Amino acid sequence: MAAAEAGGDDARCVGLSTERARALLADVDTLLFDHDSVLWCGKTAVPGAPEALSALRARGKRLGFITNNSSKTREAYAEKLRHLGFGGPTGPGARLEVFGTAYCTALYLRQRLAGARVPKAYVLGSEALASELGAVGVACVGVGPEPLQGDSPGAWLDAPLDPDVRAVVVGFDPHFSYMKLTKAVRYLQQPGCLLVGTNMDNRLPLENGRFIAGTGCLVQAVEMAAQRQAIIGKPSRFIFDCVSQEYGINLERTVMVGDRLDTDILLGVTCGLKTILTLTGVSTLGDVKSNQESDCMSKKKMVPDFCVDSIADLLPALQG
Amino acid sequence: MAAAEAGGDDARCVGLSTERARALLADVDTLLFDHDSVLWCGKTAVPGAPEALSALRARGKRLGFITNNSSKTREAYAEKLRHLGFGGPTGPGARLEVFGTAYCTALYLRQRLAGARVPKAYVLGSEALASELGAVGVACVGVGPEPLQGDSPGAWLDAPLDPDVRAVVVGFDPHFSYMKLTKAVRYLQQPGCLLVGTNMDNRLPLENGRFIAGTGCLVQAVEMAAQRQAIIGKPSRFIFDCVSQEYGINLERTVMVGDRLDTDILLGVTCGLKTILTLTGVSTLGDVKSNQESDCMSKKKMVPDFCVDSIADLLPALQG
């Protein structure tokens, strides 16, 4: 087994030489990739990444994409993948390879709100998130700007609520405001109201080392005020279960590839997948070392089997 | 010593009978009170609380008020105290008894920004907070609504920053928005830019069990995105040092009275004061028990010496 040849559990986070990569890929039929900082940074593909994915497809590997980003629908991500040269199924009825938190939130709410007369959610998030929910029959309120109404706490608490709302969804919301936070918490005080946070990422990386505040900052604000918790994105197992149900995953023959130890790698480890950390994004080898040396079990788990500077490093093992 | 008579450290959180209260008060010359849910809930005084404070004043006790709430100036709080019947010094030059986080933030920044050509702060907070900062010569930008500018992350990151800003202050801000969060984090990326969070309270209690999201929710969002920390309110020692410098506190003869274990009581314990928990607010006897039984030292510390249903319970010990 490749992992054992490369040192196995006793020597994790092994650099993936061409020889090791070849051995690993021989044992694998499915590769699951994070998007941001793995395939692309902002609007630019990571150099060599499209070629690496094309070569994987040419070798018959099945690819899947698991993103915590809730700001696009899965169709929009599929389009971005094609646009940046990562290929993917096309045409009507083509099976989508993308599992984003907007889509997975929709699956979750379809299941949990099945008995509701009018399944409806208060959404702190994008039109794309609302669109995914709408596609499974969950109506949405709250998308877009919501400035302060009234000039006192009493007035903020008296603003009307929608009586049909049965869930609060917190995704990436550039229109996040104190008024929205107030409303979210009021809905969550009502018996049976569900809370879904798409992910806990603290930052959303862009090009050139720039970043914006991530969804986790907004989720945490709601969680803190409501004293509730609920995340469906990585590292939660829920998002992997969505993939597994559609793909029929063989755990031993699947690799999770990502740039974050606390989401991508932790998800892979938790679900029993092989893991590859790519150094084009958030986590560094210093972070890996710190986790390896930690005496905290929850940190020790956040160590990948392998690491690469970039997924372009897989290319030599796929050539010739 | 009253605490010893009442059971001392080995049996903390002792109910304060009239006899015990009389013995405790005989050993005390200064009482420091939290505001919200201790003296008042929203706009209404806790029944009997004004009478208890009047009786303490009549016995020559010195009173001080330590609040994490940053939404009023200390003058405005002094006025609210008088208006609700809690008395206090009046007239020009009267020494103010209120130590709020708006005032303490001003003291902190006056000290830390002493060398700056134009001391200026980006303030996520109220006009009152800006007013306290202005009073010590720290100019403020950012107060009031700040909706999203532009329709892409690149545009949000390109919005102009004030080149003179040397600190970000996060207080209670009902106009909190993602745009403000983005700007705060951009300022904090600049070398030497200070961060002050006024407090970490998760909720701000109002009348009738209602509450709104507290400043802590907003501070945590900024901290998470910026990967920085800095709190000056309770339980941080800084706010107590502000009191101590103006009052010349004798630790052994001072009591801290509050409704929250994680702020008021923890501050008192940390600073070596006697502590009284009042059950008119956030923390319950169940919370106390849970902390007493915890094997976590940081929780074990959050246990008061005494507890009362309400500070009105001090009244019988002050009569006759």
Q: What is the DSSP string of B13-82?
A: SEE--HHHHHHHHHT-SEEEE--BTTTEETTEEPTTHHHHHHHHHHTT-EEEEEE---SS-HHHHHHHHH
pLDDT for residue A2? 36
Residue B2 dihedral angles phi and psi, to the nearest 5°: -55, -45
- Write out chain B residues lying below 8 Å of A173, CB-based: 178
Q: Do B157 and A220 touch (CB under 8 A)?
A: no
| Degrees, nearest 5: CA angle A34-A35-A37 | 100
Determine contact: A50 vs chain B, CB below 8 A: no
Arithmetic mean of pLDDT, A62-90: 93
Q: Does B214 touch chain A (CB under 8 A)?
A: yes
CA distance A153 to A140: 25
CB nearest A176 (choices: B154, B178, B224): B178
Mean pLDDT of A226-245: 93
Q: Does the beta carbon of A216 lie under 8 angstroms from any beta carbon of chain B?
A: yes
Q: Count other Cβ atoms within 10 Å, centred on residue A162.
A: 15
Q: Is A17 exposed, middle or buried (0-12, 13-18, 19+ CB in 10 A)?
A: middle
Q: Which one of the listed residues A9, A34, A201, A287 is annotated catalytic?
A: A34
pTM of the model: 0.86
Contact residues, B window 245-284, toward A, CB-based 8 Å cutoff: none
**Residue B4: pLDDT over 70:** no
Residue A204 forms beta bridges with which residues? A212
pLDDT tops 70 at residue A208: yes
* pLDDT value at residue A11: 58
pLDDT (0 to 100) of residue A302: 96
Q: What is the rounded CA–CA span in Å between residue A84 and residue A101?
A: 21
Residue B220 has pLDDT above 50, yes or no: yes
What pLDDT digit, counting tens, does each position of B152-170 carry? 999 999 999 999 999 999 9
B192 to chain A, closest Cα gap in Å: 19
Give the residue on B whose Cα is nearest the Cα of A152.
B174
Angle at the Cα of A213 from the Cα atoms of B205 and A216, rounded to 5 degrees:
60
The confidence score (pLDDT) of residue A178 equals: 98
Cβ burial B30-43 (10 Å sphere, 16+ → b, else e): bbbbbbbbbbbbbe
A62: which strand partners? A30
Q: Does B4 touch chain A (CB under 8 A)?
A: no
- Residue B42 clears pLDDT 90, i.e. is over it: no
Q: What is the pLDDT of residues A88-130, one digit of tens each?
A: 998 877 788 999 999 999 999 999 999 889 999 999 999 999 9
* Candidates A217, A222, A227; nearest CB to B225: A217
Structure tokens at B127: 């006009």
